[in-house]
Structure 1
Amino acid sequence: MAVGRGRRDAGRARTITDWDPEDTLAWENGGAKVARRNLVWSVIAEHIGFSVWTLWSVMVLFMPTDVYGITAGDKFLIGAVATLSGAALRFPYTLATTRFGGRNWTIASALILVVPVVATILLLANPGQPLWMYLVCAALTGFGGGNFASSMTNINAFYPQRLKGWALGLNAGGGNLGVPAVQLVGLLVIAWAGDRQPYWVCAVYLLLLAVAAVGAALFMDNLEGPGVDVASMRAALVDRDTWLISLLYIGTFGSFIGFSFAFSQVLALSFLDDGQTQAQAVLHAAQIAFLGPLLGSIARIYGGRLADRVGGSRVTLGAFIGMVGAAGVVLVGDSIAVQTVGFVALFVLSGMGNGSVYKIIPSVYEAKARSLPSGGLEPVAYSRAMSGAVIGIAGAIGGLGGVGINLVLRQSYQQSGGATAAIIVFAVFYLVAALVTWRVYVVVPRPGAEHVPAEPVSAKLSS
């Protein structure tokens, strides 16, 4: 790996043509610095993308029903549409860095998000628009959710196997921090300008998108070489591990992003039921709602790091068992305080599971690469392509869990006026996911996967 080779192309692009992070000597002599620089700006861009994606989790707090004509059920639907769009866009975004380059696509994806932010300003400045216009605008913010897939596949290519859990956890966790960040910005705006001036939230993100685009242009690199293409996506789609890992990611990331959209609304409705006025309920919900996504994002970083040490399958199993217990706390809680503790625990545990599931992916496909017959696809290329493809597919399917969270909560509130039925559904799913993790990736020893010292390997080599 010649770190500097081919970095500049006629002064226009930064391109590295022979990147090999498993080359320890090259890694220690400049490679680590290059990877770290790209990781930093990847985190920044993804962080802002997540904030734009979840922008409507804050905007709905600025939308009293008597002014905008949007009901509580409509607000859950807006969150579901934004989540669905962000999940679906992760499929094409997974291919983007290979086609256009990580640096180039980071610039473009940041500039694209100017459109939904400006559209949000125009909509909120003109109350009384039909529901479909809010749904279209929420769908456009989903482009920020797509950023996750391109960012993760890009960083996966920069880091060696021994550091992927930490690097992917940090990249994703830093991105996930965009959720509490936009909620904190919304809280500051409510405290400073009142609950009828949401434009300042959007103005902040127009500035930050410009910073992300310029930073990526100046400091990131494109990688040439094997990456995620249509062929690897097709191969991943018929691989059994892709679907098992996606199931686990529905439970972890789906819970994180789904609750990120819904938590503020659940809190606001709880405060209204407790006798508070609309303004009081909104303010108190905003003061608390950011804590769950904040702690969950931080937990994702440490979940990936812990998975590097003890194995992604073990951490994932522990996370799902804990989530069953946290859902139980929400169910039996007889006060807003106890239920809030249960929800925050769900955020933290789902965050840890996010990091650990993404450690399972490169471990499984590195093991499969070692089992390739001689004369077949080069193992490093296979592992990189398949890991990147599964990261994108699992990220997209996992995001659909967030759609389910919002739709199930919406149905629960419409039928019973509360979240009890929805929480029971979530708890059952977490139990199923724990059993799958235990049966497929923990109990049955399989040679070669999850290569962690002193841990029996635990993922299968072939479909």
Structure 2
Amino acid sequence: MVSTETSHPIDTSGIATASSTTLTRRPGRWIDGFDPENTDFWESEGRSIARRNLGWSIFAEFLGFIVWQLWSIVVVMLPAAGFAFTSAETFWLISLPSLVGATLRFPYTFMVPKFGGRNWTIVSAALLLIPAILLSFAVGNPETPFWAMLAIAALAGFGGGNFASSMANITYFFPQKEKGWALGLNAAGGNLGTSVAQFVVPIVVTAVAGVTLLPLAGWIWVPLILIAIWGAWRYMDNLSSAKADFAGSAAALREPHLWLLALLYIGTFGSFIGFASVFPKLIADQFPEFSAIQIGAAGVSLAFLGALVGSLFRPLGGRLSDRFGGARVTIGAFAVMAAGAFGIIGVLALNEFSLFLACFLVLFAATGIGNGATYRMIPSVFLARAAATGMTDVGATQRKAAAALGLISAIGAYGGFVIPQVLNASQQASGGYQPAFVGFGIAYLLLLTLTVVMYVVPRASLAQRQV
């Protein structure tokens, strides 16, 4: 057992003039006394520990998003592998992982305090092996029944749950002043997994001329998952200071603004993950000649650009919110998203792929900005609510806001199920996707109006503050 002594800065408030913290390491890579708010400890030792854990957390979450969104690109390659599923069936294969992943985010949030961040990262990464390996076997046999494919797609939801536990774990490692930066990197690293899966899989499975090796879509990630398991075991830590805040979660659930913010997050993040998952199928349905562009022997799908753009624009949403306010930036994002949705309706009538791609990339960029802006609004809203209700317990307000961040991220992920199913219903009812995009555009305008009314117009319930 190794201990190091660090001291807190002197406090002149009269509560404490000096204190020290003992950092104790126990077997199983448990750490007691980790205090990122202690400046001396943070500068001397805490930052290096936190960044090491952050790096492996990003890698594990990145692989989680890859597995979560594998079916989004695999479904468009099933016909070439001998499968003959209907369009409605493929929409279920695309959307079910999002439904399961969103649901798993609720229990995953509490796994880090119960088992330890390092331990749960090992377990959650190991669980990714199940859907990846089963997918490889299933797509290698055209006789695999739809129900079995659907069950395996549901297991891919393990990857969606990883986001909640990964974000919860990293929260405990960083001081308040650096949480935004760390959580932003963690989230962006995960989101990029969708884009990487959609870019890499078509190239790998078509690398041999004239042969589609679809089972490689799952197998190629197995070595990386094993590295993530090893890295978490070897380099990550468990913090005994990570405690489950059930009281904070219960208080957050009783807050009406949590549900309003969750609705906004369904509109932003839900749209991002929903459109990212269906983009390969939409291209294959509307512009089959552009579904895979041949570069040598390999086929490249341009669908990866959507998730890439959305992921890269997310940090910009946070930065703009710091300057102009989260509500104003969210309003702008919804306005652009509505314009993009209505623009896609006209582009589908023109049957012009370049315009179709451009409209979608604008839509993806707006969802990315909206993700960052809406997420930035959450702590601001809870601080305003505390001011309006006279709550002076800063710690309680922060715990309530932190719980809300996890809950809202889980609820927002259900958009990944809603978007594909709305498109499915539109195609079944009308034979096309235009009615769905009319609905999306109207929904974004309604969410824009909600944001203006609730978070821009001064209200007594928010202490007359603009968020």
With normalisation by structure 2, the TM-score equals 0.87
Q: CA deviation at 1:72?
A: 2.0
Task: Give the 5 Å matches for 1:407-426.
Answer: 407-426=421-440
Equivalent residue, structure 1, for 2:16: none
The residue type paired with residue 355 of structure 1 is G
Select the structure of larger CA radius of gyration.
2
Q: Which has the higher contact order (CA 8 A, sep 6+)?
A: 1
Equivalent residue, structure 2, for 1:403: 417
Partner of residue 376 from structure 2, selected from 353, 359, 367? 359
Residue aligned with 1:177, SS: helix
Q: CA deviation at 1:163?
A: 3.5
With over 3 angstroms needed to count, the CA separation of the structure-2 counterparts of 1:208 and 1:245, relative to structure 1, is same
The residue type paired with residue 229 of structure 2 is A
Task: Give the 5 Å matches for 1:224-235.
Answer: 224-225=240-241, 227-235=243-251
The residue type paired with residue 312 of structure 1 is G
Partner of residue 443 from structure 2, selected from 420, 429, 437? 429
> What is the CA–CA distance in structure 1 between the aligned matches of 2:207 and 2:24, rounded to whole Å?
46
2:385–2:461: 8 Å Cα contact kept in structure 1? no
2:280–2:301: 8 Å Cα contact kept in structure 1? no
Q: CA deviation at 1:231?
A: 3.0
Kindly provide the CA deviation profile for residues 102-128 of structure 1, in whole angstroms up to 9, marking residues without a partner as x.
222111100011111111111112212
Q: CA deviation at 1:218?
A: 2.6
Could you tell me which runs of 5 or more consecutive residues in structure 1 were left unpaired when the two chains were aligned.
450-455
Partner of residue 289 from structure 1, selected from 303, 308, 329? 303
> What is the CA–CA distance in structure 2 between the aligned matches of 1:57 and 1:446, rounded to whole Å?
45
Partner of residue 321 from structure 2, selected from 295, 307, 310? 307
2:35–2:41: 8 Å Cα contact kept in structure 1? no
> What is the CA–CA distance in structure 2 between the aligned matches of 1:195 and 1:346, rounded to whole Å?
35
2:34–2:46: 8 Å Cα contact kept in structure 1? no
1:393 and 2:407 matched: yes
2:106–2:407: 8 Å Cα contact kept in structure 1? yes
> What is the CA–CA distance in structure 2 between the aligned matches of 1:434 and 1:227, rounded to whole Å?
36
Residue aligned with 2:110, SS: helix
Residue aligned with 2:361, SS: helix
Task: Give the 5 Å matches for 1:173-322.
Answer: 173-193=188-208, 196-225=212-241, 227-272=243-288, 276=289, 281-283=291-293, 286-322=300-336
> What is the CA–CA distance in structure 2 between the aligned matches of 1:312 and 1:17, rounded to whole Å?
35
With over 3 angstroms needed to count, the CA separation of the structure-2 counterparts of 1:312 and 1:191, relative to structure 1, is same
1:458 and 2:458 matched: no
Kindly provide the CA deviation profile for residues 203-227 of structure 1, in whole angstroms up to 9, marking residues without a partner as x.
2211111111222223322233364
> What is the CA–CA distance in structure 2 between the aligned matches of 1:341 and 1:175, rounded to whole Å?
24
1:162–1:308: 8 Å Cα contact kept in structure 2? no
Calculate the aligned-residue CA RMSD, in Å: 2.7
Residue aligned with 2:82, SS: helix
Kindly provide the CA deviation profile for residues 75-133 of structure 1, in whole angstroms up to 9, marking residues without a partner as x.
11111111101111011011111211222211110001111111111111221222111
1:43 and 2:51 matched: no
Equivalent residue, structure 1, for 2:18: none
Kindly provide the CA deviation profile for residues 240-297 of structure 1, in whole angstroms up to 9, marking residues without a partner as x.
121111101101111111111100000001124xxx4xxx744579521000001111
Identical amino acids, percent of aligned pairs: 41
The residue type paired with residue 438 of structure 2 is I
With over 3 angstroms needed to count, the CA separation of the structure-2 counterparts of 1:124 and 1:425, relative to structure 1, is same
With over 3 angstroms needed to count, the CA separation of the structure-2 counterparts of 1:66 and 1:142, relative to structure 1, is closer
> What is the CA–CA distance in structure 2 between the aligned matches of 1:183 and 1:251, rounded to whole Å?
23
Q: What is the number of residues matched between the two proteins?
A: 442
Worse-matched range after superposition: 282-291 or 330-339: 282-291
